[in-house]
Structures are given as structure tokens and as C-alpha cells.
Structure 1
Amino acid sequence: MASPLFDPAAFLGKVAFVSGTASGIGAATARRLADLGAKLVLVDRDKIRLDAFAKTLASETVLAVEVDVTAIASVKEAIKRGVDNFGGLDLAVNSAGIDLPRCETASYPCEQWDRIIAVNLTGVFNAVRHQIPAMLVRGGGSIVNVSSIMGFRGFAGQPAYTAAKHGVIGLTKAAALDHAAQGIRINAVAPGFIDTPLLGHLNDEKRRAAAALHPMQRVGQADEITNVILFLLSDASSFVTGACFDADGGYLAK
């Protein structure tokens, strides 16, 4: 059901770029935008799952593009294809991200550090870097970057993920300041533990432990994060930029 915080008709005909759409928050957000009448540029590195997801949406308003967000030329080309196909770009959600096995900092594999920073931080920069010029042609737009509670708190065994998600918030604030006077709003959302494939490796005991970290005593659902993202994309948040909204079941309030 559409959130009452924004006018659902406001998304009708808008062109939105969403990364990480093969599953999780990206897929949930893309589906809601499609239901609200937006035209979608869907990107993910997993072509098989991306194409399967795209087929569940209206094909005439969806462009699915296999993209490696760590390669700026790949991101640039996907945005160009979206603009060429739909006539412009109004909205963007940068949710592509990965997690890898935990390891203490002193023995953390350098190649694992490089990979997580490349996807979770540089990938967001690569997208924002080319989304902004496309939106300026339309006179403005709104971008939401997906960070994490680990963008505010340290987490043992997760130096790269923690650093990347801190960086996403910093990038969001800097970019928002750079383009606030040009009609571009750039915000972030910081989810807690969400029931997505990133938690798929947890057994029942570890899932209960993750749930217990939140004062609400449960993990979140992808649609609950989508509600926050849609608010930030919409004109209901027209005086909001450079902000990071917690959607974490109270985790950061502790």
C-alpha cells in the first residue's frame, strides 16, 4: 500500500535509476516505483537475476542493464542508455552493495578491503558522478544512497564495510552541498539489519541474535526501507538534503 507521506501520482512518468535491483532493497524499491508509474533503469551485476526480476515488471517502462558499479564507464553508459531511452533522469537510488566474511583488521585480506570499498563506496560515487549531470539537464532531481547503521557505528570484524558505509554518508553530505542550489537533493538512508539475501548466511540462532540488537526485537523488511527511500525521493521531502535517515528499529538510539 502506498505511503500517505507523499503523493503517489508524483512518481508517474518520472525516470528512475536503481542499482542493486536483482534482490533486496533495490528490488523492493524498483517494484514500488514501477507500481507508481515510474520509468526504470535497473542495474545489477547479476544479469540472470536482474533479467528475471525485470520480466516481472512492465517491459515497456523498464530498461535492465548489466552493470559493474566499480567500473565508471559501465555506470556512465547505463545512465546514458536510460536517458536516451526515456528522455532524461529524475530520480536515483544507489543500493548496490556486498558483504564478505568477517575478519579482524590486523589480518583483514587486502583484496577483500579493495573489493568492498570498490562496490560499496566507489560504486556510489561512480553513480552519483554521472546521475547529477543528467538530472541538471531536467532542472533538478533527487538521489538516495543506501548506507547502513555501520555508517555511524563501528562493527568488529567489518573494517571495510564499516569504512565504506561511513564514506557513503560523507559523500552524500559533500555532494548535497555542492549541488543544493541547482535543484539536486541528495540524501541517504541507514538501514539496520534487513531481511535480504545479505542475511542469507545466518542460521536461526544468529538471526535471532541480529533481531535482538534492535530495540524492536526484530530485523526489518525491505519494504520498510523502501518507504523511507520513496519519501526522500518525493517532493514531500523538498527541504531535505544532505541528511541520513535511520531506519533501524531503534538500533542507533541505544
Structure 2
Amino acid sequence: MTSPESPVPDPRDATLAGSVALVTGAAQGIGRATAVRLAAEGAHVACADIRDTADTVKQIEADGGSARGVWVDVRRADAWSEAVDDVVAAFGRVDLLANVAGVVNLQSEDTVTGLTEEAWDEVIATDLKGPWLGMRAVIPGMIEQGGGRIVNISSLAALRGLPNLASYSAAKGGVAALTRQAAFEYARHHVLINAIAPGTIDTPILADITPEMRQANADAHLVRRLGRPEEIASMVAYFFREGAFLTGLTYPVDGGWSVKGNF
């Protein structure tokens, strides 16, 4: 039995007005910028995080947008169920999911031989298991309502070998692979799933690095600066708003780093 053809939208009509978006990691960094951007485009935004998202919600509401804070521990299936139930009770459905929440390993050296098992488990649980649980929580509702869109945050570390990022690279590489597989699985239900691979973005994770490290990170890009959270948020918004013929991609937003040669 074949599914009906996907509708062909006119890109001139693309809008997020009235849609419902769930954004994880919304307390700060890329997650916060994404929540603010989607709200500015007219979406009702559930700002989800294990941290307090009150400041993000206040910013959105001060700008005239619609938002609510939602607590979620992305590592836990029960927390995802409760979060999605909260959003559906408040807004009626979930149209869009941005899986942004993530961590880096700060517990040990992040090499294959230097990693502790505890550090590995923490990064994999947050950065890979979290997006899987999020997709599992929202896709049935998206199918029932006729479709939806998901963006997962991967990393340039999924595409290139980078020092001291073993657990992070494994998790983010898994996100890219899971995105491809899920896109294949659910396209027939009009659920479009893509990933973004950021370069080094100027977020609170970089707060404690030295000026020399900051400059080295900036110089790794062809565009010789750090990326801004708002630049990742703009790509999330593009996938959600206009990406009607895009699915299964892992799209680098990295200042040209992924195409840079060894010189």
C-alpha cells in the first residue's frame, strides 16, 4: 500500500505562524536562540530544559511572542512523555521539534583510552539517547496529525576527526546516522527530519577557555570567527519553514570549516 503524495507547498507561503515548536536546551546558547527565533516567526514555543527557562520565556513574551517553560531531562523517557503531554495540553499538538540540548565531557580526558565509563555514559545519554527519546515521543503524534518536522543538532565533530572529543564525536556521529535512518523511515508519513552540524559556536560552553584557545577555534573556520547561536537558529528556522523537499541531511553551518584543506 502506497502513501499519498506529499503536498507541494508554495515557498512564498512558508510561515511558522500558529505552529507549535518544542525546543530543548532552551535555557541558553543555541537552544535559547532557536526558541527566540521560532517565536519571532510566529510559532508557539515550548522552551524545554533541565535548567530554568524563565529568562527565555520572558524574552519571547517581551517581544510579543508565545512561549511556556517546560522541564525535561532529555536522558529520561518518562520526562519526555510528561513534557510532550504538557505541550499538547497547552497548545494542542507538536508540529516541530528542535533537539538542541547537549553536553561535552568535562569529567575526564575525552580520548578512547582516557575516557571514564561514567563520562562516556553521560555524553551518550544526553547527546544521542536524548534526541532518540525526543523523536520517539513526538513522531506518533506527528503521524496522527499528518506530518511534522524535526531538526537534530549534530556537530562538525561528526564529520571530521577533532582532538579530545571521542565521546562527543561518537554521540554526534550517531545523531547524524539516526537522522538519516529516521528520515527514511518516516518520510512516507510526511515527517521530515534533518540535522545541523555547527562549527565552533560562541556559547556558554566556551566561557572558561583562554583567549588563545578562542582565537584558535576562530581561525579553524574559513570565516575566521566563532559562529553565533543565532546563525544556527536561522538554519533551524529554514528547515522548519521552507525545507519542504529536504530530509535526511546533516547540514554544516560551520564557517567553511568542513571544506577546509590542511593548510
TM-score strictly above 0.5? yes
Query: Number of residues paired by the alignment?
Result: 246
Residue 8 of structure 1, CA deviation = 8.5
1:12 matches 2:12: no
Which of residues 236, 240, 251 in structure 2 aligns to 1:245?
251
Superposition pairs for residues 53-132 of structure 1, below 5 Å?
53-58=56-61, 61-101=66-106, 102-132=109-139
Report if aligned partners of 2:155, 2:197 keep a CA contact under 8 Å in 1: yes
CA deviations over 1:92-145 (Å, ceiling 9, x no partner): 100000112343321211100000000000001010111111212221011000
Residue 7 of structure 1, CA deviation = 5.7
CA distance in 2, matches of 1:245, 1:114: 26
1:195 matches 2:198: no
1:154 matches 2:153: no
CA distance in 2, matches of 1:148, 1:104: 17
- Which letter does structure 2 place at the counterpart of 1:37? G
CA distance in 1, matches of 2:132, 2:206: 25
97-106 or 15-24: which moved more? 97-106
- Percent of residue pairs identical: 38
1:37 matches 2:42: yes
CA distance in 2, matches of 1:155, 1:232: 27
CA distance in 2, matches of 1:203, 1:184: 42
Report if aligned partners of 1:143, 1:187 keep a CA contact under 8 Å in 2: yes
> TM-score, normalising length from structure 1?
0.93
99-108 or 159-168: which moved more? 99-108
Q: CA distance change for structure 1 residues 159 and 44 in 2, over 3 Å: closer, same or farther?
A: same
216-225 or 98-107: which moved more? 98-107
Aligned to 1:134: 141
Aligned to 2:237: 230
Partner SS, residue 58 of structure 1: helix
Aligned to 1:186: 193
Residue 89 of structure 1, CA deviation = 1.2
RMSD: 1.5
- Which letter does structure 1 place at the counterpart of 2:54? D
- Which letter does structure 1 place at the counterpart of 2:102? G
Moved over 6 A (4+): none
- Which letter does structure 1 place at the counterpart of 2:99? N
Unaligned runs of 5+ in 2: 1-10
Residue 202 of structure 1, CA deviation = 1.1
Residue 228 of structure 1, CA deviation = 1.0
> TM-score, normalising length from structure 2?
0.90
Q: CA distance change for structure 1 residues 230 and 7 in 2, over 3 Å: closer, same or farther?
A: farther
Aligned to 2:28: 23
